[in-house]
Structure 1
Amino acid sequence: MSPVATTGEDFISVYPNTAPPIEALPYELVERKGVGHPDTMCDAIAERASRYYSLFCLEHFGRVAHHWFDKVMLYGGQADIDYGRGDILTPYTVLFAGKGAYRCGEQEIPLVDILRRATTDVLSEVTTGFDPSRHLRVECGIVDHQGAGRGHSRYRPRSTADLVAIGDPTLKSNDCNLLHGYAPLSRLENAVLGVERLITGAEFKAANPDTGWDVKVFGSRREGRFGLIVNMPFLAAGIESFEHYLHRKEQCHKVVAAYLGHVLGEEPELLLNPTDRNGRPYLTALGSVADTGDVGAVGRGNRVNGLITPMRAMSIEAPAGKNPLDHTGKLYGVLAHQLAQEISELTGRAAETHIFTSKEAPLSRPDEVVVRLTDWSGEAEAGLEARIRETVTASLESMDDLTRNLIESGVTMW
């Protein structure tokens, strides 16, 4: 279907999905970059910065100043690593580029402080032993320059009257966007997502405090045979020798294998830390390859549902850090997956959702919403189709709830 603007209820379409279900394909590939991966760190930092900035504005102005902080890059540091020790010699550098307001009228917005606090909080959560006073340098490239075609800069509000309230009916799409979502996850997708969450979860970390956070999981399925590769660093300070490393790796391998056997109902092929086949252990200082100079950037990692799924419909938007009021690359990206989940539960079928919006379209009225369902019989299910349309319409008419959730509670998009 071509992305052409429509009128009335015609903008919502429900079609059968004639493609084979993902589980019926003979081959499937899935990847996840863990919370300690530099790319994932940047997504989390960008979104945390947007949340903190929005919360400050709501507290002081009752409205949110326009901004986008979705151009975050992390330059890794330098570390001295050997058995029994891991020290950071050169700090991480986190660079923010984008646009935002530094004041509203005479009231200053402490933007640089907000960016540093967001960065410190995220990196403290996804590393071990992080000390921002020694391990972090933040560079702010946020500008408040005027945008094209605007009477005055939305990044230099003269008073709160220049700010937009959450749920303002005049809010319109900030860009042209194509977004996609699907549900439910396949068995392989659930396994890949679950393994990373297991390793970076509180229970595993309490039992294995010498493990790092930069976990990367690759999963494949050939017919009914599953295979997973898991990259998981260890903290150098806790590893005494290569033999000790191999021993600890084998202990962790057993935990991960037992988990996979439980979620898949069978024992898959599992390779843990293939990088050490060259005789060098996977050791880090704080738990991430960012310790030794690796670089991360927003949008280079997981999609909104936390996975990289090349065999699925997948948005290429980088939602983290975007304005939560009207940037539909963020709003509709989250909504597409939420709608797919709701519609899948409503119909008992696998669902895909596709949302297209042009710039300046009302938030409640994108140009097109397409729902595709497995085993859909069309006219024979007119009553169910009406309920699907009602679900889509209700969600679009309550975009303010999604915005509040993004700001107040936070929605993980990586």
Structure 2
Amino acid sequence: MLSIQRDSRSVEDLPYELVERKGVGHPDTMCDAIAERMSRYYSLHCLKEFGGVAHHWFDKVTLYGGGADIGFGRGELTSPYRVKFFGKAAFRVGRTEIPVHDIMFRAAADVLAEVTTGFDAARHLVVEVGVVDHQGAGRGLSRYQPPSPRDLVPLGSGGLVSNDTNLLHGYAPLSRLENAVLGLENLINGSGFKQRHADTGWDVKVFGSRRKDTFSLVVNMPFLGGRIESVDRYRARSAVVRKELEQFVGSLGIEDFDLLMNPTERSGRPYLTALGSVADTGDVGVVGRGNRVNGLITPMRPMSIEAPAGKNPLDHTGKIYNVMAMRLARQVHEASGGPAHVHIFTSKEAPLERPDEVVVTTPDGDEQTLKALVETALAGTGELTAELIETGITLW
């Protein structure tokens, strides 16, 4: 059932706004990325070997940080990261084994190599398997113990139904503060910045607040201990980076702002890491504790607490509709010009193309145009599943 509501209110109208982003090197974000990479690699393996995707979910990944010797002029991991996968999946199709542990190790190793500096999977990574193939009530053996490839689901299959009961939400456009917070982390962990500042780490956390038109930004960004030889060097490099970040915020058209970088420096404690993350020294990450699918944590906005990373891309609407709601909101905003919200609710076993409720909120826009946008999106769930598996969609 589609409902269209008219509302012109915007988060920019609020006198106060708060936003946060956990960067790609934060342990929670690492876990989101590892879980989703595992789902993709597992799905691609099944498609290649069997022509269909075995049912699975890997959305309960945890990362137990390692140990490190860190100081000025040194940064060495002394005990490895430990990544544990919890969830359910098929370990074989008929008599043919799926190399689940090998796929898990590769997924974790690939992600961690992308969001740290100097990571060596052979020395720095241990993977533990907490995944089972137990059957749920009322389920046949084909779900997690498929007797043959004919029991798997090919891409593009019709007639699929929701695997869960979910409520998802998306909105557009991003506010000025949201763009600033997201943009700062993307800048710092972008390839250009890392080439210019190879001594910076990846565990970047950005907080922002806005009081009317006055902005306050806090950036936590580590340096690599092995590349910072002294406290004087640390201070000099901090000043250079802070200046670039301030210039970036100014380029967004934000004039009245202050930017605090690495608050621990106020107590005389430098922010140094070995590989670029607090996971180097034992911090723990868990899927779903960080950014929503638009990359932000936005307490002033409606948002779903669903954790999409690692969920089955074939029929888990907590994943499919999460992306869909965000994209639909952007399309509605482009069509109407005003702030847009999209809520999608589905009950278990509802057809993927017919969720129980879709609510679109916008101040303007032709009703038939909006209806066509929703119908096109719902009819394209198969294409969205293929994109999640074949190309990947960033969910954090």
Return the TM-score normalized by structure 2: 0.99
Kindly state the Cα deviation for residue 91 of structure 1 after the two structures are TM-superposed: 0.5
Percent identity of equivalent pairs = 64
SS at match of 1:245: helix
User: Are 1:147 and 1:153, in contact at CA under 8 Å, matched by a contact in 2?
Assistant: no
1:69-108 mapped onto 2 (5 Å cutoff)? 69-108=58-97
Q: Any conservation in 2 of the 1:181–1:340 contact (CA below 8 Å)? A: yes
State whether structure 2 residue 303 is matched by structure 1 residue 314.
yes
Instruction: Indicate the residue corresponding to 2:369 in structure 1.
Output: 387
Q: Is 2:391 the partner of 1:405? A: no
> Please, which of 10, 31, 34 is the counterpart of residue 45 of structure 1?
34
Once residues 184 and 335 of structure 1 are traced to their aligned partners in structure 2, the CA distance between those partners, rounded to angstroms, is 15
Matched, 1:111 2:100: yes
**How far off its partner does 1:265 sit?**
3.7
Partner residue of 1:361? 350
Counterpart residue type for residue 372 of structure 2: E
Q: Deviations over 1:107-137 (max 9, x none)?
A: 2111110000000000000000001111110
Aligned to 1:273: 262
Match of 1:14 in 2: 4
**Cα displacement (A) at 1:349:** 1.5
Deviations 1:167-188 (A, max 9, x none): 3222100000000000010011
Residues 46-90 of structure 1: CA distance to partner in whole angstroms, max 9, x if unpaired?
000000001111111111000000000000001011110001111
Q: Is the 8 A contact 2:141 2:147 kept in 1?
A: no
**Per-residue deviation, residues 270-323 of structure 1 (Å, max 9, x unmatched):** 000011211110000000000000000000000010000000110000000000
Distance 1:96 1:214 in 2: 22
Does the 8 Å contact 2:47/2:154 carry over to 1? no
Preserved CA contact (<8 Å) 1:257 1:267: no
* Correspondence for 1:150: 139
Provide the rounded CA distance (Å) in 2 between the counterparts of 1:267 and 1:131: 43
Q: Which among 304, 308, 327 is matched to residue 293 of structure 2?
A: 304
Say whether 1:256 aligns with 2:238.
Answer: no
Match of 1:283 in 2: 272
SS of residue paired to 2:61? strand
CA contact (8 A) 1:318 1:329 kept: yes
Q: Quick one: which amino acid aligns to residue 15 of structure 1?
A: Q
Number of residue pairs matched by the alignment:
396
Partner of residue 163 from structure 1, selected from 152, 155, 163: 152
The 3-state SS of whatever aligns with 1:362 is coil
**CA contact 1:64–1:164 (8 Å) conserved in 2:** yes
Aligned-residue offset at 1:407: 0.4
Q: Counterpart in 2 of 1:338?
A: 327
User: What is the CA-CA distance between 1:153 and the residue it aligns to?
Assistant: 4.6
Asked if 2 retains the 8 angstrom alpha-carbon contact of 1:145 and 1:153, the reply is no
Shift of residue 146, structure 1, vs aligned partner: 0.7
Instruction: Measure, in 1, the Cα distance between the counterparts of 2:386 and 2:204.
Output: 31
Separation in 1 of the partners of 2:190 and 2:115? 10
TM-score (normalizing by structure 1): 0.94
Q: Which residue of 1 aligns with 2:47?
A: 58
Q: Does 1:234 align with 2:216?
A: no
Q: Indicate the residue corresponding to 1:7 in structure 2.
A: none
Could you tell me how far 1:149 is from its partner in structure 2? 1.1
Q: Give the letter aligned to residue 133 of structure 1.
A: A
Instruction: Please give the secondary structure, in 2, of the residue aligned with 1:218.
Output: strand
In the alignment, the residues of structure 2 paired with residue 50 and residue 293 of structure 1 have an alpha-carbon distance, to the nearest angstrom, of 26
What secondary structure, in the 3-state scheme, does the structure 2 residue paired with 1:264 have? coil
RMSD of aligned alpha carbons: 0.9
Q: Which residue of 2 aligns with 1:180?
A: 169
The more displaced of 226-235 and 262-271 is 262-271
Unaligned runs of 5+ in 1: 1-10
Paired with 2:386 and 2:75, the residues of 1 have a C-alpha distance of 41
CA contact under 8 A between 2:213 and 2:256: conserved in structure 1?
Answer: no
1:211 corresponds in structure 2 to 200
Gaps of 5+ in 2: none
Tell me the CA shift for residue 166 of structure 1: 2.2
Secondary structure of 2:239's counterpart equals helix
Separation (CA, whole Å) in 2 of partners of 1:228 and 1:275: 15
1:260–1:267 contact (8 Å) kept in structure 2: no
Q: Which runs of 4+ in 1 moved over 6 A?
A: none
CA distance in structure 1 between the aligned counterparts of 2:156 and 2:387, rounded to whole angstroms = 12
Task: Give the AA of the match of 2:393.
Answer: V
